[in-house]
């Protein structure tokens, strides 16, 4: 299927002060696609995501989302356009209940009438329904991660961005998260995902971008990545 790009990134350069981290990234994410951003530690994955969501200003280059230029836009404006991030480290509010997290940010920004209601979020994450009255600081790491994903979905994002969403979780919880991401994909959710579990990403994602020192060293489909284990050892250390 040919996807219209929802997100386009051209010549993107970014960094911290004098230290440049991204050196001219070109990539697209099509509507309905799941794209994985891969690479060893420190290659610029989180920096790419921070720049996309407005947490870090691009030094050069252009980012368009749904045709709107967002390089230079503020994080809240980018969120309102329909980009939701599940950040590294979950960042739940310790004193808000699960239910409060899910209603406080709810939005219908993509205009879909079949969007994420509280009931649909609870159906996707039954554990959150069981914990509806618990506060953020009473949740396990896995529950906090599910809540972070559910909270992002409650805004009905056009693009869901996940940064290391399975980091530090028990294997059984990780599998629940992968299962949930597969369901979201089947539902047509456009997703950009950073994670280190390449085996899982090959099953989930449509396409992959491999970052090497702030440049895209390789891009291709899951079939291509699965077939070329040389890439795995050269760029991913697996």
Ligand X SMILES: Nc1ncnc2c1ncn2[C@@H]1O[C@H](COP(=O)(O)OP(=O)(O)OP(=O)(O)O)[C@@H](O)[C@H]1O
Residues that bind ligand X (CB under 6 A): 16, 19, 21, 39, 41-47
- Shortest Å, Cβ 59 to ligand X: 13
- Shortest Å, Cβ 38 to ligand X: 9
Longest dimension (CA), the chain: 49
- Shortest Å, Cβ 128 to ligand X: 27
- Shortest Å, Cβ 113 to ligand X: 36
Q: Which of 39/136 has CB closer to ligand X?
A: 39
Q: Which of 69/237 has CB closer to ligand X?
A: 237
Q: Which of 50/101 has CB closer to ligand X?
A: 50
The Cα-based distances of 9 to 65, 198, 236 in angstroms read: 9, 23, 23
Q: Which of 18/186 has CB closer to ligand X?
A: 18
**CA-only gyration radius of the chain, Å:** 17
Closest residue by Cα to residue 37 from 225, 171, 176: 225
Cα(212)–Cα(110) distance, integer angstroms: 34
Displacement of CA 228 from its chain's centroid (Å): 25
């Amino acid at each position: 299927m040919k996807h219209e790009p929802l997100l386009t990134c051209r010549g993107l350069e970014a960094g911290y002060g004098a230290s440049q981290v991204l050196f001219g990234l070109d990539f697209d994410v099509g509507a309905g696609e799941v794209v994985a951003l891969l690479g060893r530690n420190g290659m610029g994955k989180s920096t790419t995501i921070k720049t996309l969501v407005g947490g870090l200003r691009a030094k050069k280059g252009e980012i368009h989302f749904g045709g709107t230029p967002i390089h230079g836009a503020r994080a809240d404006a980018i969120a309102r356009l329909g980009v939701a991030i599940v950040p590294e480290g979950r960042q739940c509010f310790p004193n808000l209940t699960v239910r409060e997290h899910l209603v406080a940010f709810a939005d219908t920004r993509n205009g879909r009438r079949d969007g994420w209601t509280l009931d649909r979020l609870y159906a996707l994450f039954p554990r959150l329904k069981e914990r509806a009255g618990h506060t953020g600081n009473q949740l396990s790491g896995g529950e906090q991660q599910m809540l972070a994903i559910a909270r992002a979905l409650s805004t009905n994002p056009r693009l869901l961005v996940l940064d290391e969403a399975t980091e530090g979780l028990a294997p059984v919880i990780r599998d629940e998260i992968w299962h949930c991401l597969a369901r979201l994909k089947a539902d047509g959710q456009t997703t950009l995902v950073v994670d280190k579990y390449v085996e899982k990403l090959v099953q989930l994602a449509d396409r992959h971008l491999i970052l090497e020192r702030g440049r895209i060293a390789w891009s291709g489909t899951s079939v291509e990545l699965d077939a070329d284990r040389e890439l795995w050892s050269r760029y991913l250390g697996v």
